[in-house]
Amino acid sequence: MLIRAATHQDHAAVWQMLKPVFRSGETYAIDPDISEKDALNYWTGADAGCFVIEQDGTIFGTYYLKTNAQGGGAHVCNCGFVTGPTAQGKGVARAMLVDALRRAKETGYKAMQFNFVLANNARAIDIWQRAGFNTVGRLPKAFNHPKDGMIDALVMFKTL
């Protein structure tokens, strides 16, 4: 699989992955009714880049890399990851995380932080923990999940 910078030509494929994730309201604190234009601006407008993972011309996932905070916190980055429905079990999320960690370090970031990992997202938490992320905070009942009700969100952190 190839991971590369996303281009404008990838936007339709990226939207096809973002749309069901954002519309479900189950993993991202994003307005489920966000427009395609606003969703793509949010995702692809990250200051350190937006990337896609593909094989044989098919895009299986996307992630963004951005500065988490300004000023004295600008050395910490943040990422968002979405995989397509055919990516499950193929190591796509893990490959994107490895790539993101490498790019973050090369860009000069000193740490990566996930600000809002839903406590019921066991797959993501497992991947992040196996990559060396620690849970450094727990936000009680911070997310109103459409199926599970009020659930906690985790703050996860890794020094690069």
For the cut 90, the answer to whether the pLDDT of residue 28 exceeds it is: yes
Rg (CA), the chain: 15
For the cut 90, the answer to whether the pLDDT of residue 156 exceeds it is: yes
At residue 80, the pLDDT reads 95
Q: Are strands 111-118 and 76-83 parallel, antiparallel or unpaired?
A: parallel
At residue 91, the pLDDT reads 87
Contact 44, 50 (CB under 8 A): yes
At residue 61, the pLDDT reads 95
Q: What does the mean pLDDT of the chain come to? A: 95
Helix (H) or strand (E) holding 124: helix 122-130
For the cut 90, the answer to whether the pLDDT of residue 54 exceeds it is: yes
For the cut 90, the answer to whether the pLDDT of residue 145 exceeds it is: yes
Closest by Cα among 82, 96, 110 to 13 = 82
| Neighbouring residues of 102: CB distance < 8 A, sequence distance ≥ 6 | none
Q: What is the dihedral of CA 47, 132, 86, 3, to 10 degrees?
A: 40
Structure tokens at 94: 């893990």
Q: Which residue has the tokens 């307005």?
A: 31
Q: How many domains does the chain have?
A: 1
Structure tokens at 124: 């993501």
Residues 77-135 have pLDDT tens digits of 999 999 988 887 788 989 999 999 999 999 999 999 999 999 999 989 999 999 999 99
For the cut 90, the answer to whether the pLDDT of residue 38 exceeds it is: yes
Structure tokens at 145: 């999940």
Q: What is the CATH number of the domain that holds 46?
A: 3.40.630.30
Please give the residue range of the domain that contains residue 55.
2-159
| Neighbouring residues of 64: CB distance < 8 A, sequence distance ≥ 6 | 43, 44, 46, 48, 49, 50, 51, 79, 80
